[in-house]
Amino acid sequence: MNSPSSPSPRPRVGLFVTCLVDFFRPSVGFAAVSLLEAAGCTVEIPETQTCCGQPAYNSGDRADTKDLAKRTIALFEGFDYTVVPSGSCGGMIKEHYPELLRDEPDWARRARQLAARTYELVSFLHDVRGVRNVPVRYDGTVTYHDSCSGLRELGIKEQPRALLRSIPGLKLVELPSAEVCCGFGGTFCVKYPEISDKMVANKAADVIGTGADTLLAGDMGCLLNMAGKLKRLRIEEGARPVRVRHVAEVLAGMTDEPPIGEGQDKGRA
Amino acid sequence: MQPTSHRFKENVRGALADAALQRALRFFDFGQAGLAERRRQAVAKLPEFEALREQAKAIKDHTLANLDWYLERFEKNCTAAGGHVHWCRDAEEARQTVLDICRRVGARTVTKGKSMIGEEIAINDFLAANGIEPIETDLGEYIVQIRHEAPSHIIAPAIHLTKDQVAASFRDTHKQFDPARPLEEPRALLDEARGVLRQKFLEADVGITGANFLIAETGSSIIVTNEGNGDLTQLLPKAHIVLASLEKVVPTLEDAATILRVLARSATGQEMSVYTTFSTGPRRPGDLDGPGEYHVILLDNGRSQLLGTEFQEILRCIRCGACMNNCPVYASIGGHAYGWVYPGPMGAVLTPSLIGIENARHLPNASTFCGRCESVCPMKIPLPKLMRHYREQEYERRLAPATVRMGLAAWAFLARRPALYHSMARLAAGVLGRLGRRHGSFFNLPLATGWTATREMPAPQGKTFQAQWRARQRSKGRR
């Protein structure tokens, strides 16, 4: 991996793992560590991190959100950078913490300082560490879904595509409506499952229509939703199988684990 | 119109099961010929669009900060041009004022241009109940009127219908024509409606329109239309009544021109609407045509309560519809499910603002916060942020179901206690990981039945990241 010179030769990066990666797909966390180390970073993982607070924030519970935001700020403000394998949690820290804590000047300042040094994983590799290619191979046709927070809050669009295009054997095809929400929406999919399902059904049809054998994205929430729908369509309607992975797994060449939602029996439930 | 926003979930189930509606909503297929794509192309052709958005926002922010002054200036200049301004606190006052004018001029038939304020104050039902026949003259509005429905979109009222449904309604309503006439082509539907409406225009005693802008410096009102029906509505009858809410006012004609440059592009992807009609007072001596009386209903209906609050920003809305044209939730359920006059993201903020969060608490919740609405809003209204503020009110006032609040409280309790949080996560991931290892996902999970009814729930890999990382660090330490 090529990493042009950077201000701090070996920056200390705090990895904010996110609750969904911690719980559902730890392999994404290890892929992130591997990518960051290859990009010349020293990675540390504060053990007492939990959640960024977004579920409470989007449920109108500002008091609990503030507590969790302050915990996270205190845990991560000592690092050169905070990196998050999620545009959604990254957007929470980068865009929403400063707004959330605006009435407490000291915390607002600390929130802004942390926000300025917080990045979503792929954009950090590309924009901050100057990574332009990754030394892995992937044989397959891949399509990419732009998760909403990463796209619209953090401006992540070209970075993952640029890195994916550098991979030998990988053919990238664009997903129609790649910028339309998959219907996950955090608590939305719990509160309004029927609307959520309609949205993910549209998304799954688009994905299948691309002919791609692999669907990638940068957020576990969207990935669980899309993988769950694609698999159910395969079981019930015989839809074409699509492997679903977090983009970091492919970039790190760590694709030994079964794809999201797939088991040892290749998913025939 | 009686709000059904409190029954949002039932409305949604009905909408998702309505095959005709779902066919009609294909018009919203993103990336194809829908309104969202037309907007995108129009914006791409105008390099200064972003700068215009900023200007448009600044104009409205300035006006809202000085709203009393500009409204009084509008009244003064409108009155000087021979018009009458009626300040109406609520829907009841507005309806009564309109009825009084209609009665005074002896109106039996009233033509109407498209007006969302007309929907908000339910003027049609009120006039009909008082023996006056209201006729909608915008084609979409006319279609929903003869079907006894409400508009499902603020600029495309009949977008929830297919042309076959429209043809069926025309056959049911226009009994004067040959039942075997061909109505398959949209053009045939248009011609028939035009023929029917032409007679109504000539019969009307009063014409009611909405307003896209009120101009303080001239006392004028402006409407934009694509069908020209607004012009016939307001020019032919004895009296023209403009229904406008307070926030329609802008200081100058120049300001209106700036906002017009973002309005049609955002709405339909047109550079300008086909007609942009300026009205200043009644017919003057020597004018060839025009109404004998010109009235402006200035409706508050709760808007002044929003001034100075975090919700003031929704008053910048110019009703272009871009937020709903780009909303994947609207595209899934259509406009009626929202249960009142204003659907989509702007409705999810304006509806609780006008009828109370307790009557519309689902609306600001039924959003994934995907942010497309804010990204296309020509007035840069932070719609997700405003919806989140309503969720905060809902939480503070304990309007959310107890199960939701308790679940959230339990989760927040854990998230503040990392040791407990991680051991619970380790336990749950371990159990689910073992159960799901073979299939990789769950067909049915007791606490997530909403999800698993239609989707697999992917199984966790087994051990949490934190547990594996700690084990790895410990083994490194031992080496």
Longest dimension (CA), chain B: 101
Which domains occur in chain B, in start order? 34-301 (3.40.50.10420), 418-478 (no CATH)
What CATH number has the domain bearing residue A212?
3.40.50.11810
User: Is residue A1 domain-resident?
Assistant: no
Amino acid letter at B239?
A: A
Q: Please state the domain count of chain A.
A: 2
A25 and A123 in a single domain? The answer is yes
A85 and A147 in a single domain? The answer is no
Closest residue in A to B427 (Cα–Cα): A23
Residue A8, pLDDT score: 56
Residue B405, pLDDT score: 86
A185 and A232 in a single domain? The answer is yes
User: Is residue A268 domain-resident?
Assistant: no
Which band of pLDDT confidence, cut at 50, 70 and 90, is reported for residue B27? confident
Q: Which helix (H) or strand (E) holds A44?
A: strand A42-44
A212 and A245 in a single domain? The answer is yes
A16, A143, A232, best to mutate vs chain B, most B CBs in 10 Å: A232
User: Is residue A145 domain-resident?
Assistant: yes
User: Is residue A207 domain-resident?
Assistant: yes
User: Is residue A267 domain-resident?
Assistant: no
Put simply, whether A95 touches B (Cβ < 8 Å) is no
A185 and A165 in a single domain? The answer is yes
A17 and A88 in a single domain? The answer is yes
Residue A268, pLDDT score: 43
**β-pairing verdict for B213-215 and B249-250:** parallel
State mean pLDDT over B413-427: 95
Q: Which helix (H) or strand (E) holds B471?
A: helix B465-478
Q: Which helix (H) or strand (E) holds B297?
A: strand B293-299
**Cα–Cα distances in Å, from A170 out to A42, A134, A146, A213, A218?**
29, 12, 18, 11, 17
A138 and A217 in a single domain? The answer is yes
Indicate the residue among A85, A112, A127 that finishes a domain: A127
A81 and A37 in a single domain? The answer is yes
* Joined tokens for residue B96: 């009564």
**Interacting residues of B467 by C-beta distance below 8 A, sequence separation 6+:** B422, B426
User: Is residue A183 domain-resident?
Assistant: yes
Residue B127, pLDDT score: 98
Which band of pLDDT confidence, cut at 50, 70 and 90, is reported for residue A266? low
A44 and A92 in a single domain? The answer is yes
Indicate the residue among A127, A153, A183 that finishes a domain: A127
CB contact under 8 A, A60 and B391: yes
A149 and A241 in a single domain? The answer is yes
Which of B31, B418, B465 is opposite residue A29, by nearest beta carbon? B465
Residue B32, pLDDT score: 60
CB contact under 8 A, A261 and B459: yes
Confirm if A142 and A216 have CB atoms less than 8 A apart.
yes
CB contact under 8 A, A261 and B458: yes
User: Is residue A261 domain-resident?
Assistant: no
Indicate the residue among A64, A92, A127 that finishes a domain: A127
Q: Is the pLDDT of residue A265 over 80?
A: no
- What 3-state class would DSSP assign to B462? coil
User: Is residue A57 domain-resident?
Assistant: yes
A151 and A247 in a single domain? The answer is yes
Task: Give the domain extent around A218.
Answer: 134-251
Q: Is the pLDDT of residue A25 over 70?
A: yes
Give the gap in angstroms from C-alpha A135 to the nearest C-alpha of chain B: 24
A66 and A93 in a single domain? The answer is yes
Which band of pLDDT confidence, cut at 50, 70 and 90, is reported for residue B422? very high
* Joined tokens for residue B148: 């006894």
Q: Model's pTM, two decimal places?
A: 0.95
